[in-house]
Amino acid sequence: MEDCLQTIADYGLRSLGIGERLLPRTGFTLCQQFTLIGSGMIWNIYFGTLALIAGFFLAVAVALGKASANPLVRKPAEWFIFIFRGSPLFIQFFFAYFLFLSLKGSYPIFSPLTSATFGALTVLFLNTAGYSAEIFYGALQSIPKGDTEAADAYGLTGWSKFRRVVYPTMLRLAWPAYTNEAIFLFHSTTLVFFAGFPAFQQKGDALYYARYFADRTFNPFVPYPILAVYFILLTLVIIAIFGWMNGRLNRHLPSDARPRLRFRPQLIR
């Protein structure tokens, strides 16, 4: 127990570069594995949360663009969605990393983007914006005709019609699918350190450390289930937060007419 507290003190923030410099090399204890993999989760949460929040705004804009009648706006939005949904995230990471690397050669201002902290975040932000935009677009298409007609009857137009009628209804309809997208995004943050972006001084995410232990001990039956436990907990937290928001979005409906969140995982991006 004493040992374990010491391990947590040494390695609890190892993924940020705080604490013991060397990773454990021999006699790997369960406590070390739990602590380091948990420490790596900091990165998964960092990537997931920031990309999700920033991606939300771009996604709404792109979804409105795709629903627009003007082809000058619609075409770029359609291409944006197709490119990010039609190709593997893994390849997007590689491409972006090498793109940033060559940009850095010509313009030093791009040098932060070659680190995972900002570069991978940018890719995840654009990627989740692409996936969410498709979800929001689908929701925009299924807004009941009566709702917009009622808005017209009240004399609402332009911005106020969007803000008071279209936008809340779109969010309400898209929310269950968007919850899955959020879970899925957190899962795909595990790809960051496998695709180009280097982990400086062994500061990696949860999967990076899980793989470190699996490679060192030749025993996949301990680190990967630990990783699984962490991710299932994270998934439950996301479902709780999004479920609460879902309740708020639907609070004007009678309680038996409120749509329930159902976890339907998508797979790989």
Contact residues: other proteins, CB under 8 A: 26, 28, 82-83, 86-92, 94-95, 98-99, 101-102, 187-188, 190-191, 194, 207, 210-211, 214, 216-221, 224, 227-228, 231-232, 235, 263, 265-269
DSSP assignment of 199-243 equals -GGG---HHHHHHHHHHHHS-TTTHHHHHHHHHHHHHHHHHHHHH
Q: Which amino acid is at 119?
A: G
CB of 68 or CB of 102, closer to other proteins: 102
Q: Which of 95/162 has CB closer to other proteins?
A: 95
What's the number of CA atoms in the CB half-sphere (13 Å) around residue 202? 18
- Report CA torsion sign: 52, 54, 57, 61: negative
Could you tell me the two tokens for 113? 């983007």
Q: In the complex with other proteins, which residue's Cβ is closer, 7 or 44?
A: 44
Query: Which is nearer to other proteins, 40 or 64 (by Cβ)?
Result: 40
In angstroms, what is the minimal distance from the CB of 195 to other proteins? 9
Q: Whole-number minimum distance, CB 158 to other proteins, in Å?
A: 35
DSSP track, 150-202: HHHHTT--HHHHIIIIIHHHHHHHHHHHHHHHHHHHHHHGGGGGGSS---GGG
CA–CA dist 105, 137 (Å, integer) = 38
Least spacing, CB of residue 235 vs other proteins, in Å: 5
Q: Is 107 helix (H, G, I), strand (E, B) or coil?
A: coil
* Closest to 116 (Cα-Cα) out of 39, 193, 55: 193
> Measured from the CB atom, is 96 or 151 closer to other proteins?
96
CB of 151 to other proteins, least distance (A): 28
Residue nearer to other proteins on the CB measure, 57 or 82: 82
In the complex, the smallest distance separating the C-beta of residue 78 from other proteins, rounded to whole angstroms, is 12
Min CB(114)–other proteins separation in Å:
12
